[in-house]
Chains A and B, each alone.
Chain A
């Protein structure tokens, strides 16, 4: 069966420090991968999605970047964190080319920038 792992679960970082959140999927090949951010009272905002290795689409301009170095690995990064980067980050995957495919979510990473 397919599983998705996301880490770290909790992170407290100072302003200006770098960030790396990792997500891996097991049990499937060539998934669509997504990074969402959930800020308090603002629902889920799609940050990045990827349909293949090295292919990243950014949905909103921001202080973050994403990379997909392997088929089932998706990394969210920042060189210098801002206070506004605080939030709950969710990685998700879906089956490629299935328009109605549901998303399967990781357990999330809570980032607090101080």
Chain B
């Protein structure tokens, strides 16, 4: 069965600083990977996804993620965060028609 680990429960960064959120996955076949963002009290919105091809994936809101098979990782990055990026971020892997989520990383932005 697939699994996802997000080792950082909570990250705080200054506005304008760079960001990297970590995600490690476990899946026997080629993974399909996703990053979702959740604003407080809201549903989840897809940021980006990786199926195949270029291992650097561009998403919405200036986010990107890099798939590294050798490290079983799919880390999310943004070069300069904005206060509106404060939210919870979930990494997910799909297998057998079901999406398995990590436990999430809560991002706080300080002025």
A interface residues (Cβ-Cβ under 8 A, vs B): 6, 32, 34, 36, 41-44, 46, 49, 51, 59, 88, 90, 92, 94, 99-103, 105-108, 110
Contacts and interface: CB of A to CB of B under 8 A. Distances in A.
Contacts of A99: 32, 94, 97
7 contacts: A34-B98, A36-B101, A90-B43, A90-B44, A99-B97, A102-B49, A108-B43
B34 A102 contact: yes
B108 interface: no
B94 A43 contact: no
A16 B45 CA distance: 34
Interface residues of B, number: 23
B96 to A, nearest CB: 9
Given A43-B90, A43-B102, A46-B98, A103 B44 contact: yes
Contacts, number: 57
Contacts of A103: 44, 46, 99
Q: Is the interface of B mostly helix, strand, loop or mixed?
A: strand
Interface string B41-82: 111111001010000000000000000000000000000000
A55 to B, nearest CB: 12
Contacts of A59: 98
Centre residue among A41, A101, A102, A110 by max chain B CB count within 10 A: A102
